[in-house]
Structure 1
Amino acid sequence: MSIWRVILSIICPPLAVLDKGCGSILITFLLWLCGWVPGVIAALIILNNPKR
């Protein structure tokens, strides 16, 4: 996880997870609409998981 991804996930979480798939984008976007903090937490968790 690069520092630029972390900064992007703080500013706009759905943009930080664009390459992780449609489901991740949708979940992050919905949580971001509910509140800024849940969206940021979800983006950081998704970015921290290793690729399978």
Structure 2
Amino acid sequence: MSFWRVVLAIICPPLAVLDKGCGSVLITFLLWLCGWVPGVIAALVILNNPEH
């Protein structure tokens, strides 16, 4: 997980997970709409997951 990905995940979570697949982007976007914090947490978890 690079520094710039973390910064992008804090600023706009769906953009940080664009290359992780449509499902990850959709989940992150929906959580981001519910609130900024859930979207950021979801993006950081997805970025930290080595399986993606």
TM superposition score normalised by structure 2: 0.97
Superposed CA RMSD in Å reads 0.9
- The within-5 A match list for 1:1-40 is 1-40=1-40
Displacement over 4 Å in runs of 4+: none
Q: Give the superposition deviation at 1:36.
A: 0.1
What SS class does the counterpart of residue 51 from structure 2 fall into? coil
What are structure 2's unaligned runs of at least 5 residues?
A: none
Q: Give the superposition deviation at 1:14.
A: 0.1
Q: Give the corresponding residue for 1:51.
A: 51
What are structure 1's unaligned runs of at least 5 residues?
A: none
Deviation string 1:1-46 (CA, Å, 9 cap, x unpaired) is: 0000000000000000000000000000000000000000000000
